[in-house]
Amino acid sequence: MSHSPIRKDKTCLNCRHVVEQNFCPNCGQENTDSRKTFHHLFIHFFEDLTHYENAFWKTIRNLLFKPATLTKEYLSGKRLSYLAPVRLYIFISFITFLMIALFPGESKPIVTSDKNHTKSQKEIPKNIFTGDLSDLKPGAEFDSFTKNVDSIQKFAPKEKKLDGFSYWIIKKVKYVKDHNTKKEIIEKFTESFVHNIPKVLFIIMPFFAFFLWVFHNKRKWYYFDHGIFTLHYFSFLLLMFLILFIIQKLIGLFGEDNPLTFISDIADFVGFIWMSYYFYPAHHRFYGETRWVSFLKSVALFFINSFFILFLLIIYAFYTFLNLH
């Protein structure tokens, strides 16, 4: 509830209706001073998202421990007792971004060495001029190839030279490997992935709802229904990630070798199991199908969405790698 003083003027600023109480009976706008302090705006932001404390905690409790309850309640018309699905997701996303900003990844000095030295053409692997990228073997030979990519473009026969895109990719890979150790690449990628999980989930949501629409009765269920289910399910996933992230970072404040790290490990294990299982009871309770039908559809949807998510993550991983410094 807002604690701002009520305006002396009884005319609603929104619809010009006469207001005798705190809220306009015509449009519902609160009759308070329109000029607010920053403190009020910050508090009002949380109040607007959470409505009242009871509704907020009731929503979070049901979201975490009662799969599909929020979706069924919302679609049945009981909407004032809980946070609206979109506001719920936005609120959790906001807190997630805030926590990530408060607990950034540790920045470590990058140890580099001068790996660039002049090589004669004899030192270039023999298959550089006699084949294409598919001829290369993984490991040391590929490393040697990346180190000599400039020589390839300069001395190799025209038909054996790389195209512009391949050359750019190889140069980028070489730059990343020259300026980062394997451990640093993994750490940077992990940090970037964590920071972008909310964005990745947001991109996936409409596709997730589409697959639900494909698997269910089109006359009984609208895409809107699947969308609300998806919003609640992804809000759960994001909230679980947020909880595990906070636990990990708080325990990490005591050092990497502190005796409390086992709590973080247990939380991660339990959280992963619950996130993996959650979709099945949520699907069964919401769509009301038999357990076996719901189980089979859940498994099918799990693999389809996992494949789709994996495809997006591969693209994302490639993009992230190319943007490492």
pLDDT in tens, 168-178: 777 777 777 77
pLDDT the model gives residue 46: 61
Domain of residue 267 covers: 85-108+182-322
Are 224 and 259 found together in one domain? yes
Q: Per-residue pLDDT for 157 more than 50?
A: yes
Q: What is the pLDDT of residue 121?
A: 42
Spatial contact of 232 and 87, defined as CB atoms under 8 Å apart:
no
Q: Do 194 and 292 belong to one domain?
A: yes
Token pair of 164 as six digits: 């512009």
pLDDT at 9: 74
* Residue 21 neighbours by CB under 8 Å, 6+ apart: 31
Residue 64 lies in a domain: no
Residue 76: inside a domain: no
Average pLDDT on 8-16 reads 78
Q: What is the pLDDT of residue 282?
A: 94
**Quick one: pLDDT at residue 85?**
92
Query: Do 166 and 229 fall within a single domain?
Result: no
pLDDT for res 213: 94
CB burial of 307-317 (b: ≥16 within 10 Å; e: otherwise) equals eebeeeeeebe
Residue 278 belongs to a domain: yes
Residues 198 and 285 in one domain: yes
pTM of the model: 0.66
Asked if the structure places residue 77 within a domain, the reply is no
Q: Are residues 155 and 240 in the same domain?
A: no
* Domain-embedded: residue 45: no
One-letter amino acid at 95 equals I
Residue that wins the pLDDT comparison between 171 and 74: 74
- With 50 as the cut, is the pLDDT of residue 166 above it? yes
At residue 65, does pLDDT exceed 80?
Answer: yes
With CA atoms as reference, report the closest residue to 234 among 22, 101, 86. Answer: 86
Residue 75, domain member (yes or no): no
pLDDT in tens, 199-257: 777 888 899 999 999 999 988 999 999 999 999 999 999 999 899 989 988 888 777 77
Kindly state whether residues 142 and 227 are assigned to the same domain.
Answer: no
Instruction: Work out how many domains the chain is built from and give that number.
Output: 3
Q: Which of 17-31, 38-52, 167-181 has the lowest mean pLDDT?
A: 38-52
Min mean pLDDT across 64-73, 101-110, 263-272 is at 101-110
Least confident residue range of 43-47, 60-64, 206-210, 307-311: 43-47
